Amino acid sequence: MNQDTDDPEAKTSWLERLSQLFAAEPKSRKGLLKLLREAHENGLLDTEALSIVEGAIQVADLQVRDIMVPRSQAALIKIGQSPAEFLPNIIETGHSRFPVTDESGEEVIGILLAKDLLPLIIQGTCEGFDLKKRLRPANFVPESKRLNVLLREFRTNHNHMAVVIDEYGSMAGLITIEDVLEQIVGDIEDEHDVDEDSNAIRPLPNGDFLVKAQTPLSRFNATMPAELPEKHFANLGEFIEHAFGYLPRRNEVIEQGGLRFRVLSANSRRVHSLRITPLTGMED
């Protein structure tokens, strides 16, 4: 039986500690965060719970532009493309939703869901496929929208993706509900992501590597031709953030220890994955 439930003194002590912690009502968000961190230090919140609560509070300070995927990195389909032209891109990216633009590539006219392509797979033919008939309405949001507001809209409207537009009404990027949730709970992985334990360092056919940022440096050094300092960094991500001197964004590149590191995935809290190119023998 649970000792805390049966022991009145233990129960009283826990309640006293909790009431003492919140005796002084916080006057600001900074004060609230301080109290939460004190609760963590006193054992009332574990590390994961503290991280989630902090993420939920801080998400109100972020705007869509802070975490969106820039247009240059978005996988787009033009309305005039045939399935033979856009299917390789869909297969390669593995996304479930794709913005479809007009012939000029400037205006988003709808969203194509990957699941709507199942008839092509079942029938084994692209004959009679009309992309225009498969389009779903696109949801547009401004760069300046707060993430907490967007998350509420996602939940209310049952949308999972929004097209981000700039002050001129042009597409600036994309944002998904998963992008927003990751600001609160951290990286969300599915069964197709690189497994952190068994496949944290994955070689690619061209000699590059896909590496999870949470890979311990000791394991990274043992696997890769590198001798990165292990003493002060728990994992590769911490080392990379230190090397940049700030939290890098997607597609930023840095060279360290004879390797080129390109950030593949990152949010406002940490780096998630990297693409690594050995520089030995490469020509500039």
DSSP-derived secondary structure for 195-237: PTTTSSEEE-TTS-EEEETTS-HHHHHHHTT-----SS-SSHH
Distances (CA, A) of 169 to 72, 127, 164, 165, 208: 16, 35, 9, 5, 38
Q: What is the pLDDT along the chain (284 residues), one digit of tens a residue?
A: 444 445 544 444 555 655 555 555 666 777 777 888 888 788 877 777 777 777 787 777 788 988 888 888 788 999 988 888 888 878 777 788 999 999 988 899 999 998 888 766 666 666 667 888 889 999 999 999 999 999 999 999 988 999 999 998 899 999 999 888 877 776 655 544 444 455 578 887 678 888 888 889 888 888 887 788 887 888 899 999 999 999 888 778 999 888 999 887 776 667 888 889 988 754 44
**C-alpha to C-alpha distance for 269 and 241, rounded to whole angstroms:** 11
Phi, psi of 230 (to 5 degrees): -95, -20
CATH architecture entry for 65-185: Roll (3.10)
**C-alpha to C-alpha distance for 217 and 201, rounded to whole angstroms:** 12
Residue 139 is predicted with a pLDDT of: 94
Q: pTM for the whole thing?
A: 0.58
Same fold for the domain at 65-185 and the one at 201-278? no
**C-alpha to C-alpha distance for 3 and 41, rounded to whole angstroms:** 22
Tell which CATH classification among 3.40.50.1370, 3.30.56.10, 3.90.420.10, 3.30.465.10 matches the domain 201-278: 3.30.465.10
Residue 175 is predicted with a pLDDT of: 93
CB 100 within 8 A of CB 78: yes
Domain spans of the chain? 26-61, 65-185, 201-278
**C-alpha to C-alpha distance for 22 and 170, rounded to whole angstroms:** 47
